[in-house]
Structure 1
């Protein structure tokens, strides 16, 4: 049976910062699922620059193509655009709920800690970290209410990215291929658990 795996969200989900498609998050995770013996049909609906308000369009595309497993990565652009947490989380809730109604298992990676980005002045890092954490917690509550699964990998990944600049691409904002490998490794157990539960 073919596993229809769809990736939705922003530039992190789309793979900005990679030089080859095989390095992107969706392709890395699809490869992990294939290595576990699954026949995977990968569809990437993520768009660079997307905010939570853009998820509805991506969800419609994913549902139209058929979806068994969905990964949603969203929140960074909401933070940079100062979208209120309750607004972004509400839109994320609706997206997860729609995917669930279509029969998908949904895994969500919430907003990252943007304080690790080198562009953030040191004096503002605590403030940015606090805002990022609040946004991610609000998202997580909404995801759980909609029936999705939260992959709580943010703190672990933030510490790694903060200590190793090689995990960032040349723009010092998006991950490098090595950074995407780290993110994929952190997310893979949640996807594998969802697939095993479905089986």
Structure 2
């Protein structure tokens, strides 16, 4: 997600969904302007700490193949870790270290996620990932689809298409579905409620498509929202839109178990000859 630039588009999304009156449109436009003034624009690109991580927690080192597990992260600013203060606090780094420890093998992290990406941008990321197909991929996408009026049905279909490409290349895929934008408190009411409803509708549509494809989905809205609602001062970065290092730590803790479970399932299937 890109914060302030997304809010104006959300106004138009609200109008297209609900048929806003002139007065209601004016109210939401004013709220959007106030929220943009609070959030501001991102000043920095996300940090990057791609490389090889070992079970003892060391890394990153220059990537080598060997017996390492290749782990790719695709999606938007949440996947990229915009808002993390240090490279070690990036969600992908925490996950790479957690996977290395849990699976007792080195993990080679490659980040393809780009801040501001929508599901329509995911194809290009998958193209890059498939140059050297990863063993495991995490995809987090959807927030920018909400704020740019992308059709929920089209967004979910495109996600399914790109995860299928990864799976067909032998990659085990885990998807974090669209988070609840209602946790972003600088967005005033009723605009925040509109954002919440839209994002939760997209998350449900993503889940339906992924379930049909047999792709493991993790509900970020259900698992993260209560904590972010309760602790906004602790878990958001200075822009009050993206998580900070502590917020990403909480998100990584939620995502690590499904990623490990997905890889353990692959091991069991290979041992059983399935």
TM bin, normalised by shorter chain, reads over 0.9
Q: Which has the larger radius of gyration?
A: 2
How much has 1:139 moved relative to structure 2? 0.8
**1:80 is the counterpart of 2:186:** no
How much has 1:153 moved relative to structure 2? 3.5
Cross-structure match for 2:216 = 149
Cross-structure match for 2:94 = 28
**1:194 is the counterpart of 2:262:** yes
Query: Which SS does the other structure have where 1:174 is aligned?
Result: coil
Aligned match for 1:136, one of 166, 184, 203:
203
| Runs of at least 5 residues in structure 1 that lack an aligned partner in the other structure | none
Cross-structure match for 2:71 = 5
Cross-structure match for 1:180 = 248
Is the 1:100–1:147 Cα contact (8 Å) retained in structure 2? no
Query: Which SS does the other structure have where 1:121 is aligned?
Result: coil
> Partners of 1:60 and 1:146 in 2: how far apart?
20
Cross-structure match for 1:127 = 194
| CA displacement, residues 95-150 of structure 1 (integer Å, 9 cap, x when unaligned) | 10000001011000011100110222122333322211111000111122233110
| CA displacement, residues 133-179 of structure 1 (integer Å, 9 cap, x when unaligned) | 11100011112223311012322311111111210000011001000
Once structures 1 and 2 are overlaid, which stretch shifts more, 174-183 or 35-44? 35-44
Is the 1:59–1:99 Cα contact (8 Å) retained in structure 2? yes
> Partners of 1:139 and 1:156 in 2: how far apart?
16
- Count of matched residue pairs: 199
Aligned match for 1:90, one of 157, 182, 202:
157
> Partners of 2:208 and 2:88 in 1: how far apart?
32
**1:14 is the counterpart of 2:80:** yes
Is the 2:178–2:220 Cα contact (8 Å) retained in structure 1? no
| Runs of at least 5 residues in structure 2 that lack an aligned partner in the other structure | 1-66, 268-274
Is the 1:96–1:147 Cα contact (8 Å) retained in structure 2? no
How much has 1:192 moved relative to structure 2? 0.5
Is the 1:93–1:145 Cα contact (8 Å) retained in structure 2? no
Query: Which SS does the other structure have where 2:117 is aligned?
Result: coil
Q: Structure 1 length as normaliser, TM-score?
A: 0.96
Query: Which SS does the other structure have where 1:122 is aligned?
Result: coil
Q: Structure 2 length as normaliser, TM-score?
A: 0.70
